[in-house]
Structures are given as structure tokens and as C-alpha cells.
Amino acid sequence: MNKTVAVIGHGMVGHRFVETLRARDTAGQWRVVVFGEESDAAYDRVGLSGYVGPWDRGALALPGSRYPDDATVELHVNQRVVDIDRTMRVVRTGDGLEVHYDALVLATGSRAFVPPVPGCDSPGCHVYRTLDDLDAIRADAERALVSAGDRPPVGIVVGGGLLGLEAANALRLLGLRPHVVEVNPRLMPHQVDAGGGEHLARMIGDLGIDISLSSGVTSIEPADVGIRATLADGTTVGAALLVFAAGIRPRDELARDCGLALADRGGVLTGTDCVTSDPDVYAIGEVAAVQGRCYGLVAPGYSTAEVVVDRILGGDAVFPGADTSTKLKLLGVDVASFGDALSSTPGALDVVVSDPIGGVYAKLVLSDDASTLLGGVLVGDASAYGLLRPLVGSTLPGDPVSLISPSGEAPALGVGALGDDAQICSCNHVTKGQLCAAIADGACDVAALKSCTGAGTACGSCVPLLSQILAEEGVEQSTALCEHFAQSRAELFESVRASGIRTFSGIVERFGSGTGCDICKPTVASILASIGSGHILDGEQASLQDSNDHFLANIQRNGTYSVVPRVPGGDITPEHLILIGEVAKDFGLYTKITGGQRIDMFGATVDQLPLIWRRLVDGGMESGHAYGKSLRTVKSCVGSDWCRYGQQDSVRMAIDLELRYRGLRSPHKIKMGVSGCARECAEARGKDVGVIATEQGWNLYVGGNGGMTPRHAQLLAGDLDDATLVSYIDRYLMYYIRTADRLQRTAAWMESLDGGVDRVKAVVIDDVLGLAADFEADMARHVEDYECEWKGVLDDPEKLRRFVTFVNAPGVPDPTVSFGESHGRRVPVLLGSPSLPPLAAATI
């Protein structure tokens, strides 16, 4: 007869225990009964903040967490266990259910710590722990927004650690102005040092979040709206709500009540075998005090679950210790720490690179002889984390400074620097050697490696290293667009173009699988736009777009949008200048001349966009597509009309090119330039397509760009007449659009082609593919079918319904948007930045 293991708690670790037991119990020795206190089965609590916005509980559910096809697992959700009878080996729930067990696993996790502050149980006080907690916070936030005045309501967060900063971001997304109160002198005190904390505080403060360090809340009392909190320095802060995120405490009350031994600082005391003081009872996850210490991270929790599975199946596994390294993005800021991040090892040496202007802080902690890596902290740029963390305890492969600030001839750090014993996946304890062995056994892609080793299936931070190891082992990498499409972008482009299917649902049904993701949806949207399938906000296409394309405008740091009308070639009439000035003045927008010879108007709220577009469209202007992966601008000098050096009419050519290629959707943005002579005032050789006048005609350059990795464009052909120039550009752009990878600039695309610029010349000029006429015909169709996207919205009442600040409260202005003045310039006042002087009638 099967034995029964009862599991109290159905969080991530409890679910991991059940999954692991079912996979390893091949003899079918154990029946599993699981009790979950929440109404939801196990979900991704690490990703709890991802619930804010979509509000979709199912999206966080862990795969298989309800065990629908496993008759040996009995799951009870919304069932709180209230008693453990260790003598009779029975657990009882509040609903009267009794279950006999042969082994009992406590996976009760932890609860949010609420400091004993007077008034801590007042209405409006919350914790940040469960989906229900977030629903309650949302309800209070929405009530506060309805009655808000000009400034957004404040939301106080008690705690400046990992959870506190996540809670602050959630409040920010809900439209509140977060105020973080941390008792320590720096944020994330357990993960980053003083220098890293200073950088982190500055960067988060720049996002409009108030921060009170070395402080605390001493009392809370109800107010007319929300609550009023008094801080340690006597300051009183009125707020819509308050969230306690000041740490966690193990849920050990059941263990205490049934007489199990507890650790001095709480938690169920176990040895490295995870056995409690009762040999039939085990503890795993956050409630387990292994040798007296509790761990609040999922990776050590998974380790304890696997130890207990091994033990009840007759093994002798022991807890291997905990990797407390962390890597995450908080409020858009990368933060990582690993090993001895706080330099606690005697004699340890610190190597620090600090760039407050660039927003980057990196520290390596080394042994006293500077040869061994002990730990580190990364703030602002955590890209080196995946390779540095496995090196902890190993001899450094090079100069320490070069590892965190590569310069000169210092070798780049790669997976080749890691030994076979380097732990690539800390969540599941997978080494490089294990991964290499799996590759040798036939695991030929990331999905296969994840499946057979478990690497990358928890937090996912090691997934980029899996691809690198595959490449190092000589495995050719898949060109699949994503898990839903096995084709590359170029292959999918041709399939869509040939099939005539013009909806994402039809495309994924015909050529892919599943429901799509954040990679393939905007890629398909771009493909559909490139081949001309109507307005980008028509039907299904609207839901596929990236954030800027959703509203045909560029979202800015304070949640407002900028509006950029087209100014072909930088050529503008006085009437259009006056129109832009009047619109900016009437709507209170800040104006800025861009590097592409246009005028950008900043500070529009989403509901104002159609009103602004109407004024511009009625005045003869149109969308400048500053928001799209498409042609942005064609920059020009004044050319032969005015300049004494000008050899050709660069302004006319720039206007012609911009009007020809406006709205042309592509894998990435495209910029062009036309210079009237070799003096190059339009900087054409720094553009995707550059045209420079000669005495005989035009030189055509391709594949340049500015940005983080500037590229000089390369000469494609010289001394071209107007018609040949345009035909070559048509062919070049269509060749790029059909064959480039997603989000690949023209420079990178050309570098990826076998033969580089010579290959481009062969296709564009020599027509070796026989597609020149096809390319030109496609471009001709684009020119003929072009319509202004702003006008397309204005003429369609259904599309206009998208442009409201709050879907459930049309006409209500965004209370989070306000402006001030800095050095005579209109600037956004970010949440929590009251130091700027306000503008008269500045709040929209």
C-alpha cells in the first residue's frame, strides 16, 4: 500500500517538492496530499510584481501546479491547516479535513514582517506578499486616484530592500507617488555596499521616488483620505496607503504549537538533512532553519525540497549550502550581488569602478593576494554577472579592472574562462561540466539544455550563458525567431508575404504554434506593416505593437508623450513653424529641435494626442514616425541653393527621399542624410543611407549609424544620376527589410552577410538574385499606399477610443503628470521631485 506524504504549503518550494518526488518516485511508493492556504495553486511569487498591470492570475501560475493528470497527487487549495497531531500523525484543516501521514513536509514559507508601530493595523495599511495583497493595494490606490487633486497621491513603502523597491514600483505603476522609508543608511543593505547603495539611491531618486534613509515610521493614524504617518525625525507624511515590505518571518506557528524545535531566530530547526526534531517531519523553503539559518531565496528553497525527496526515497542527500547571489532589475535599474559582496572576508581587497554620470557602479572583492574572486556588486549594468558569479572562489582569468571596465587590449571575459566545475545555474546547481556533457549527449539548443539539466528554469538569469556554452562547444545555433516560430525573421517574412495571410492569429496557426510572445508579436506586426496590410492599429495588429506604436507617439520618462510632425529634409514653411508654435503654446508643450532637423513637442498626455494631431493634420502636417521602427528623418544641408560650395540640390533630394520612404516599416529605425558636397554638413556617412553630391551626381553610402556603436557608412556606388540613385536605395532597403533579423540595424545586418558590402553590391547593383525589379515594385506599392497614421486614427472613431488616460474613467486627467521650470526650460516634475519651481497652470 502506498505511503502518504502530506505537504503543508503550496508555494514555489512546495510545488518543487511535489514535482521532484513525482519524477523520482518511479516505484510509486508515495501518495501526496498538498494543502495550500491561498485560493490559487502555486504561482511565481518571485515575479509577483508582474501581476500589476495585466492583473492576470493565470499568467503567474506555475506549470502543472494543479496536477490535473496525476492521480497520486491530491491538492487542496484555500485550506488552512490548523493542527498537527504528531502522535497520531494526522493534520487537520480549519474545514475539518483530516489526513493521516507517514511523512510530513512543512513548506509553510514566511509572512511579511509588520513592525509593531502604533496604528499598523489601520485601514490603508498593507503587506506585499500575495496576489490578494496586491488586489487590496490596487483597490485603495484606485479610490485615491478618483479623488486626487493636481498632484498624485503618495504611497508609503516601509522597507528599502528587494521587496520594498518592488512594492515602490508597483505603486508607481498604479499612479501613486512612492515614498520609501528605510531604517538602514542605504537601500538594499543586504545586497549592495555603501557605494552601490549611493548609486542605487541616486538612480531611483531620479525616477521620481522619495527616499528617507536611516529612518522609520513611528506611528500611523487614519486621515480624512488614507493615512498619516510620522517618521523618525518627526516629519508627517500624508498618504493614500502604506505598504509594509520590511522583511519576512518564517511561518513556524504550526511547528511551535505541535512541539517541534525552533531556531533561536525563528524557523523550524533542522540539520543539513532537513529533518526536524521529529524524524517523520521535514521542513523546506523559507520556514526551514537549516542548522539554525533560514534562507529567503528560492534557490536554497529548491535545494531543501530536493534533499527531502532524496531522503524519503531512501537516500542520504544533505543541504549543499546556499548561493545568495541575486540579479534583478528594479524600476529599470540593473542590480546584482554575488559571493562576499560586502567584503566581510578578513584582508579582502576591493576593486571599484564608479561612474556616477553614466550611472554605473561595479565592485569586485578579491583575496588578499588579489588572485581569487570572492564576490562583487554591480549597479546600473549587470551584464557581467552571468560570467563573474561562477568565477567566485576561482583564480581570476585576467586583470580585475578589465573584468568590470574593459578597455585597451584587455581580453573580453567569456565562458571559455570558466572551468567545468563553475556553477552556471545556481538555482538548480548545474555546472558548466554538466552542461557540456548534456551537449555531448545530444542537447543541441537552449530548450534541450533546460529540459535535461534544469538550468535556466527558475530565475532565468543564466539563459544567456547557455547559448554561449553551446557556441563554445561548436553547436550551430538555431535561427528560430522564438519558441513559437521555428523560422528566422527573414524566412517568416517570405512566408507571410507569399501566403497572403494578414492576421497574427492566422500566421501563428499556419506557420507557428502557441499564442505568441513579446518577441514574435511586434516582429509580425513589423512584417505586416512592411508589406502594407493597412493601418497598424487595425484589428489584431493593434495588440501586437510595441509601447510607442500603441499610441503613435514616444513615451517619455514621466508617462507623457512627445509629438514629432514630419519636416521633410528639414525644409519648413513659416506657416508650419507658426502652427507648431501655436500648438505647443496652447497645449503647454516643451519644444526641442532634434538632431534630425525636426521640432519635437514634449509633455502631451495620451488623451491630448488626437487633439494635437487634428491641429497639425488640418494645417497640412503629418506624422513624423518618430515612434516607429521605420524611416525617421532625411537630414540635409542647404545645398546648391544657398551654399557657395554646394554641387547639387541636396534639399530637394532629401525632401524627395523622405516623402518616398516615409512610413516604411523595417526591422529597425532608418536614418538618412543628404550632403550637397564633400564637406558633409548633413553627416550622411553616419546614416543607414547617406547621399553625398559630386560634380557628376551622387555618391551612395550604406550601413552607417550613430548611437552606442557608431559605424561609418560604406560606399556602394558613385556619381549616380537621380533615377539610378533612387532605384539603388529602393533595392537596398527592400533587401534589408526582407532579410535582416529583428531589431537589427543596417550596419549589423551588413556585417552579418557573407561578403558584407560586396554581397550588397552584387544584389543591389548586379542583381545576382534577379530580384531588383521585385524590390522596386514593392517600394512602388509602398509609395502608392502610404497614408498618414495620425490621420488614420482621426478618421476612425474605434481607434480614437484608445486615447484616454483611464479606460474605466474617460475624461479624467492623469494626476501623475505635472511640470516645473529648470533654467528657463519647461521640464517634467517626476514623482517625488518637489524641488523644481512649478509653472503657472502647469498641471495637465
DSSP 283-346: E-GGGEEETTEE--SHHHHHHHHHHHHHHHTT-----------EEEEETTEEEEEEESTT--ST
Is the model's pLDDT at 320 over the cut of 50? yes
Is the model's pLDDT at 242 over the cut of 50? yes
DSSP annotation of 801 reads T
Which range scores top for mean pLDDT: 30-39, 548-557, 626-635? Answer: 30-39
Cβ atoms of residues 535 and 791 within 8 Å: no
pLDDT digits (tens, 9 = 90+) for 111-132: 999 999 999 999 999 999 999 9
Of 100 and 758, more confident = 100
637 is in an annotated binding site: yes
Q: Quick one: pLDDT band at residue 816, thresholds 50, 70, 90?
A: low
DSSP annotation of 43 reads B
**Average confidence (pLDDT) over 693-711:** 87
pLDDT digits (tens, 9 = 90+) for 746-766: 988 988 787 788 899 999 999
What's the CATH number for 125-246? 3.50.50.60
CA distance 441 to 438: 5
Residue 572 phi/psi, 5-degree rounding, is -140, 145
Bridging pattern class, strands 177-181 and 210-212: parallel
**Average confidence (pLDDT) over 577-605:** 93
CA distance 513 to 47: 25
643 is in an annotated binding site: yes
Q: Which three cell numbers stand for residue 590?
A: 516643451
Residue 407 confidence (pLDDT): 47
Residue 802 confidence (pLDDT): 79
Q: At a CB cut-off of 8 Å and minimum separation 6, what does 672 contact? A: 631, 633, 634, 635, 654, 657, 658, 661, 684, 687, 688, 689, 690, 691
> Under CATH, domain 3-111+250-312 is a member of which superfamily?
FAD/NAD(P)-binding domain (3.50.50.60)
Residue 322 confidence (pLDDT): 82
Considering the chain, what is the average pLDDT of its residues? Answer: 88
Residue 457 confidence (pLDDT): 72
Q: At a CB cut-off of 8 Å and minimum separation 6, what does 347 contact? A: 367, 368
Tell me the residue ranges of DSSP E strands in 392-463: 423-425, 430-431
CA distance 303 to 288: 11
**Average confidence (pLDDT) over 172-176:** 88
Helix (H) or strand (E) holding 617: helix 609-618
Is the model's pLDDT at 223 over the cut of 60? yes
Q: Quick one: pLDDT band at residue 812, thresholds 50, 70, 90?
A: low
462 is in an annotated binding site: no
**Average confidence (pLDDT) over 191-196:** 91
677 is in an annotated binding site: yes
**Average confidence (pLDDT) over 8-12:** 97
Burial letters for 683-714: b for 16+ Cβ neighbours within 10 Å, e otherwise? Answer: bbbbbbbbbbbeeebbbbbbbbbeeeeebebb
CATH class of 417-478: mainly alpha
Is the model's pLDDT at 833 over the cut of 70? no
**Average confidence (pLDDT) over 561-582:** 94
Nearest to residue 397, comparing CAs of 422, 377, 379, 378?
A: 422
Of 546 and 441, more confident = 441
What is the end-to-end Cα distance of the chain in Å, rounded? 71
Is the model's pLDDT at 839 over the cut of 50? no
Q: Quick one: pLDDT band at residue 644, thresholds 50, 70, 90?
A: confident
**Average confidence (pLDDT) over 600-613:** 92
Which range scores top for mean pLDDT: 277-281, 600-604, 831-835? Answer: 277-281
Is the model's pLDDT at 253 over the cut of 90? yes
Q: Which residue has the cell 505635472?
A: 818
Burial letters for 801-821: b for 16+ Cβ neighbours within 10 Å, e otherwise? Answer: ebbebbeeeeeebbbbbbbbe
pLDDT digits (tens, 9 = 90+) for 370-406: 889 999 999 988 878 878 888 888 888 777 877 786 4
Q: At a CB cut-off of 8 Å and minimum separation 6, what does 352 contact? A: 195, 361, 362, 363
Is the model's pLDDT at 336 over the cut of 50? yes
Cβ atoms of residues 720 and 734 within 8 Å: no
CATH class of 629-787: alpha beta
Residue 409 confidence (pLDDT): 40
Q: Which three cell numbers stand for residue 529?
A: 506593416
**Average confidence (pLDDT) over 201-213:** 89
- Domain over 325-413 is classified CATH 3.30.1490.20: no
Domain ranges in the chain? Answer: 3-111+250-312, 125-246, 325-413, 417-478, 489-545, 552-623+789-799+811-844, 629-787
Nearest to residue 134, comparing CAs of 100, 173, 188?
A: 173
Residue 543 confidence (pLDDT): 66
What are the residues facing 243 on neighbouring strands? 126, 157
